[in-house]
Chains A and B, each alone.
Chain A
């Protein structure tokens, strides 16, 4: 990473921290909620960036892990409130509203699902992989829609915001800080893993899997590990998103969500550390500003995305850095 990119990253992080806090101070709490959304969606995109940016694995089904993380949070909180056990046998497991416990469950559920889906889908590459990850995510979507116990199509309300020791999570500033901290932690994990031997091998596997195999590194296991880490991070984002909206619905599992998470990554710059943050921020900004102009803002968003693909490759961060270099 160049010094320029590092500077840009620090700038982006400070902007995301300072602007909403200043807005809250001056009595505009709306921007705080918006920034919390950006932070949480960025975490989901950091997860995908791991598989997509480092491993070249074009997963079009990351809504699966996002939604599962959300449902993990929603289901645990609901059981904690109504006092019923989730599982009565072989041991009794009840719900909880304790955030760290919820995060742990969300991450584990997402990681386990990513492991199972990865086992099947990583047997293939290219277009097959895209279609299969999309299909499995859609399977979970249809399951959530047709399973009535947790709200089915209507979704599941989370009546209280879950708790974090020492903090008041109902205070928007404190909840924003939790989300921001979680984003920084996931970015740190991304950065450390990218520069580790594992990350080097993973990036090499994207460029030439055959050569890596001949060096004695098993590409399938490498990719599976990356896929599981990727799903786990996105699962954490899902749990936070459930707490932000105090609502979980099958919409979190839908293909449209998968597409949005992918757009965040590509808009910001594939494989860049802060690409997901830049992409999610730009997307939410466009959603807000275009949404004021027209009810049909997605038409303009679509046209803009087309222009980005056709003419501005490398995403936002890539474009900014190139211009400065040139």
Chain B
């Protein structure tokens, strides 16, 4: 097994991690500021991918598609917040779970209605086709590398937004004390809609970018949503930094586990059973990681006790 092969898997893990961060950051912000658990976050990811695929095939421009994916998901997020989610902030988590589960049904079947059951395919733009040779002779897909760079840039932008701007100050204040910032004259309704649309836009962007690697299909959002939940449990709820560390950990563990476990079991088992045992165990690895965090730090790596 060569170093180059491992380096490629590490980059794949980084790419998965960065995508997970775009999902988890929105979820954790929405929970932190509004105290809402949003199961339909995966649907917003799906909307981003479908809007991107639809616009890209209609106009022939991937970049327009990407923009469409981002804005369609953000718009859908804002509409859903105004129409439904707004009524759920003062309800208990059970109502939130049921309502957002209902939203998944509406979004998934609605998308199937409009686009049909067959998966769509998105081709990356020509500039990003092919491979690049990185230092050390590592040959890697140009598009995946672009996703990593774009994801890291968005993550940096999000940290700046939260750390340095007025909106960020209000978001952080909202996490500390919702009533107080409303009393200080901040229009809390607009803030909530903005935060929800921001989270939705991030999910849509992730969906649009991943859509070019995988196929775009109904139900693509929920596996990612559940991974994002694992990320949040590991990182600590409401913490964007925790979401970042958790995302990279989960992305790396999942990718490297799937690659290394079959190899490891192959050293003392026949190839076919090593493959099945290895891949079955690798599929459980991130959940075991989550269990370990729960045993030693139930509040998550970056969480506060009592949060």
Partners in one complex: yes
Alpha-carbon distance A302/B98, docked complex (angstroms)? 10
- By beta carbon, the residue of chain A nearest B228 is A131
Q: Given that A255-B226, A259-B101, A298-B105 are contacting pairs, would A123 and B283 also be in contact in the complex, using a CB cutoff of 8 Å? A: no
Contact indicator A139/B284 (Cβ below 8 Å): yes
Are B103's CB and A302's CB within 8 A?
A: yes
* Interface assignment of B119: CB less than 8 Å from any CB of chain A: no
Per-position 1/0 for B79-114, Cβ under 8 A of A: 000001001100101110111011111101110110
A127 to B37 alpha-carbon distance, docked (Å) = 7
Whether A130 contacts B37 in the complex (CB less than 8 A), given A262-B97, A299-B106, comes out as yes
In the complex, whether A142 has a CB less than 8 A from a CB of chain B is yes
Do the beta carbons of B93 and A130 come within 8 Å of each other? Answer: yes
Which of A75-83, A88-96, A305-313 is the interface stretch? A305-313
Residues of A close to B99: CB separation below 8 A: 305-306, 309-310
- Residues of chain B in range 59-96 having any CB-CB distance to chain A below 8 Å: 84, 87-88, 91, 93-95
Q: Give the total of B residues in contact with A, Cβ under 8 Å.
A: 41
Mostly, the B contact residues are helix
CB pair A305 B101 closer than 8 Å: yes
Q: Are A148 and B97 CB-contacts (below 8 A) given A132-B233, A132-B290, A298-B105?
A: no
- In the complex, chain A residues whose CB is within 8 Å of the CB of B279: 146
User: Hey, which chain A residues are within 8 Å of B287, CB to CB?
Assistant: 135-136, 138-139
Q: Does B198 contact A (CB under 8 A)?
A: no
Closest to B232 in A: A131
B 1-58 contacts with A by CB, 8 A: 31, 37
**Contact indicator B94/A52 (Cβ below 8 Å):** yes
Verify if B182 is at the interface (C-beta below 8 Å from A): no
A149 to chain B, nearest CB (A): 8
Which residues from chain A contact B87 at a C-beta distance below 8 Å? 310
B97 near A299 with CB under 8 A, answer no
**Which residue of the partner chain B has the closest CB to A138?**
B226
- Name A255's contact: one of B31, B95, B113, B222 (CB within 8 Å): B222
Cβ 8 A contact of B97, one of A58, A138, A313: A58
* In the assembled complex, A23 has its CB within 8 A of some CB on chain B: no
With CB as the reference atom, state the residue of chain B lying closest to A260: B101
Task: Kindly state whether residue B139 has any CB partner on chain A within 8 Å.
Answer: no
CB distance from A161 to the nearest CB of B (A): 29
Given A302-B104, A309-B95: A135 touches B109 (CB 8 Å cut-off): no
Q: Decide if B291 touches A296 in the complex (CB within 8 Å).
A: no
Nearest CB to that of B35 among chain A residues?
Answer: A127
Q: Which partner residue on chain A sits nearest B276 by CB separation? A: A148
* Contact status of A306 and B84, CB under 8 A, knowing A52-B94, A131-B229, A138-B226: yes
With a cutoff of 8 Å between Cβ atoms, the chain A residues found around residue B283 in the complex are 139, 142-143, 145-146
Kindly state whether residue B216 has any CB partner on chain A within 8 Å: no
> Which residues of A lie under 8 Å from residue B298 when comparing CB positions?
123-124, 128
Q: How far is the CA of A203 from the CA of B243 in the complex (A)?
A: 35
Instruction: Find A296's partner among B109, B222, B226, B294 (CB 8 Å cutoff).
Output: B109
| CB–CB A135/B226 < 8 A | yes
Report the separation of the CA atoms of residues A204 and B151 in the bound assembly, to the nearest whole angstrom.
Answer: 47
B237 at interface (Cβ–Cβ under 8 A)? yes
Contact, CB under 8 Å: B94 / A266: yes
Instruction: Name the CB-closest residue of B to A310.
Output: B87
Number of A-B contacts (CB under 8 A): 120
Shortest C-beta distance, B298 to chain A (Å), equals 5
Query: Cβ of B31: which chain A residues have Cβ within 8 Å of it?
Result: 127
| B275: nearest chain-A partner, CB-CB | A148
Whole-angstrom distance between the Cβ of A116 and the nearest chain B Cβ: 9
Question: Could you mark each residue 243-260 of chain A with 1 if its beta carbon is under 8 Å from any beta carbon of chain B, else 0?
Answer: 000000000000100010
Closest to B285 in A: A139
For A135, the chain B residues whose CB sits under 8 A away are: 226, 229-230, 233, 287, 290
- In the complex, the answer to whether A58 meets B94 with C-beta atoms within 8 Å is yes
With contact pairs A302-B104, A310-B99 given, residues A127 and B109 touching in the complex (Cβ less than 8 Å): no
Bound-state CA distance A302–B113 (Å) is: 14
Residues in A171-227 with C-beta less than 8 Å from chain B: none
CA distance A75 to B237 in the complex (A): 39
Contact between B104 and A123, CB atoms less than 8 A apart: no
Q: A123-B294, A128-B237, A148-B276 are in contact. Are A305 and B98 (CB under 8 A)?
A: yes
Within 8 A of B (CB), among A145-164: 145-149
Residue in contact with A303 in the complex, picked from B93, B98, B102, CB distance below 8 Å: B102
Q: B109 near A298 (CB under 8 angstroms)? A: yes
CA distance A130 to B100 in the complex (A): 13
Residues in A neighbouring B280, C-beta threshold 8 A: 143, 146-147
Residues of the B chain whose Cβ atoms lie less than 8 Å from the Cβ of A121: 294
Q: Evaluate contact between A263 and B237: CB separation under 8 angstroms.
A: no
Is A115 interfacial (CB 8 A cutoff)? no
B144 to chain A, nearest CB (A): 23
Closest residue of chain A to B107, judged by CB?
A302
- Interface pair B105/A301, CB less than 8 Å apart: yes
Confirm or deny: A60 has a beta carbon within 8 angstroms of a beta carbon on chain B. Answer: yes
Q: Which residue of B lies closest to A60 (CB)?
A: B97
> Given B95, B108, B226, which contacts A298 in the complex, CB threshold below 8 Å?
B108
Could you pull out 23 A-B pairs where Cβ atoms are within 8 angstroms? A120-B291, A123-B295, A131-B229, A131-B233, A132-B290, A135-B226, A135-B287, A136-B291, A139-B287, A146-B279, A255-B222, A259-B104, A266-B98, A270-B94, A297-B109, A298-B109, A299-B106, A299-B110, A302-B105, A303-B106, A306-B99, A309-B99, A313-B95
Shortest beta-carbon contacts, A-B, top 10: A302-B105, A305-B102, A302-B106, A139-B287, A131-B229, A142-B283, A298-B109, A302-B102, A299-B109, A309-B99
8 extra interchain contacts, Cβ-Cβ under 8 A, other than A131-B232, A139-B287?
A: A130-B37, A135-B226, A139-B284, A148-B276, A298-B108, A298-B109, A303-B102, A305-B99
